[in-house]
Structure formats: C-alpha cells, structure tokens
Structure 1
Amino acid sequence: MLPAADATRKPAPARVRLRPTMQSDLPFVLSIERDPANLPFITPWERTQHEAAIRFPDFRHFIVEGGDDLAAVGFLILIGCKSPNQSLELKRMVVQSKGEGYGRAALRVAKKVAFDDLGAHRFWLDVKHHNLRAKALYDSEGFVVEGTLRECVRGAEGFDSLIVMSLLQAEFGARRAQGLELPA
C-alpha cells in the first residue's frame, strides 16, 4: 500500500518550454482555441490573424510544449515586443489540459521572456471577469489589478467585462529575489 500524499506538499512544477509557432502548428492552435471548454474565456482569432502574428516582428507566437515528451499542450501570444514604451501584453494563453501545472509553468517562462529577453518594463494582460481560474493564477503569480473595462467584449450571452492586470519589472525582480520566479 502506498502512503497517502502530503496535502501540504506542493506538486513539482510542470516541465514546459516555449518554441516559436510554425504554420504547421496552426491546426492545433485553432482546435484548442475553438474547444468549447476554452471559448467562454477567449475571443478566438481567424487563421489569418495567427498567420500574421507568426510573421509580424512586434508579436511572439509560441507553442507551449510540456511533460516528459514535450508534446504540444497549448500556445501563447505576446504583443508589443518592439514597443518603445517597453509595455508587453500577454495577448492570449490557452492550455489544453487544465490542472496539470502547464499554465503556471508557461506563464513563468513567458514572464522570463518578457523581462529578461525582451526588456519589458511592464507585462500586462486582460482576463474576462468570470474566468476565475485564470484570475487566481495571475494573482498568485504577482500580477496586480489595474482596473476593469466594463462590458467591453461581446460574448455569447451579452457583454463581458475585462480585468486589466500587470506586473512591473521591479516587482518581477523582487519576486525573483524571493525565489518565486525562474532564475536569470
């Protein structure tokens, strides 16, 4: 008989890496973006929008690979990579398998890319007000609520509000000093 799991022990972080999205990845991207489990929380793009994001220098479109075999488990998009204001947006992050730690691990890698590789001063995002799981993740990863864009996006059942959140470079540095972020 195996011993019971220690409820206070946190699971090991999921293993993920980000790799640039290729045209051949777009069927996967579109399939998880249009998955009924994800649709209430995002505004899906057309294929041509994803194609443009792959090519446009101000964007970074990544496939999230995870697990021991580093299979595709999701994707994320960064916008503002060439911004003179050093304000970078996490435009979209969609993970296929929920609750396995891939979203948190991918977000940590995205923060490292934003601040260390792309020189961001501010890393921001918006999240639909009813996406409580994502909101809790962003809260726990140091993002601060800046405000709410009330009823600004048309959804299936009316208009949705967006909560705007951000993390500043100094806040990221403080979290890193506490061991809460990936090392430089």
Structure 2
Amino acid sequence: MTQPAADRRRWFVPSVVLGVVGTGLGAFAGGKPWAAPDGGAGSPLVDKSGGHVPLAAALGLVGLACWGVLLVTRGRLRRAVAVLGALVAVGLVATAVVGRGSALDSARHATVDLGRVPTGAHTTAWWYVALVAAVLALLAAVVAVRYVAAWPEMGSRYDAPTGPPEPQDPADMEDVDLWRAIDQGRDPTDPTDY
C-alpha cells in the first residue's frame, strides 16, 4: 500500500534539516582531531598533530552540497542527487567507523615522550560527534531517496530563459512592462527589437 502524497511530503522539512545538520556537523567534526595522545599534555616533546581524518570533512562537504542541489533540482536529476547523497552518507559512516582506528594510530605515532617511545592514545569527543552526525545524515538520505519524487520543487520561474521573449503590442503592455523593456535596452514600440 502506497502512502498518499501529503504523507510523503511531511518528511520533506525534517529530512532536509536532519540532512543539512548531519552533513554539516560531520564536515565540522571531520576537521577536528578524533584521537589524542595520552598524558604529557604539558610536555614540549609531545606532538599533538595526529588524530585527524580529513576524508570525513571532505565527505561532509560533498553531502552538504548534495542537499543544496537537491533543493533546486527536479525530476530524474533530483533522484540521482538523492542517491549520490545517500552514497556519500554511507561513506561518511564508513569513514567514522574505520577512521577511528586510523586516528588512534596517528595520534600514537605522532606522540614522542622522553624515551622516544610512542605513548597511548584515546578517542576524543569529536569522533562521537562525527559518528552520530554520519548516522543522522544517512537516515535523512535514505528518506530522501524514498520520498524525493513527492517533495515540493522550485517553480519554473527560477529557470533560465529558453529563448528570446515574444514581442508584445505596446498597447497591451502595462506601464511596468514598458519600463522594464526600456531598462533592458529594448524599444517597446519597435517589434523588431525583441
């Protein structure tokens, strides 16, 4: 049994908000360190540069762009962008899961204590933020793929013009249209100027 269009449309705003928040937060958290070395915070010999996973930030930005494109497109292109957004969200979840170990290893090896032995490392709160954001982005993208065909679209008045405007009889034009034609450099009394 299929849902009525009104039921499918009610998912529009929550999905867009959840998708934008999830991908935006994922991009932000992807730029933060997911792991940090244990101890030695005040030691000048500890390098805190490890623990970053730049792929998460990049995927978050691509997912954010997908939501922007999804809002301004129609038809098959809109469906394709929704599917691309879902694939990016899957990549974001996978990056969060796999990237944790990579961030921990990076933080361990970037740390040098007095004996030049790598110390331990721990996961920071940014990894948890990234994981939750990735899951939210995935949920929103799955809903988008399922219901995007029933969601509201931008009107065609925002589309680029497809050809030259049709000539009008100046007697049929209103004052605003006459002034608009003059502002655009056209002579409203000359039918060959259209």
Same fold, judged at TM 0.5 (above): no
TM-score by structure 1 length? 0.25
Tell me which protein shows more strand as a share of its residues. Answer: 1
Which structure is larger by alpha-carbon Rg, 1 or 2?
2
Which structure has more helix as a fraction of its residues? 2
Higher relative contact order at CA 8 Å, sep ≥6: structure 1 or structure 2? 2
What is the TM-score normalised by the length of structure 2?
A: 0.24
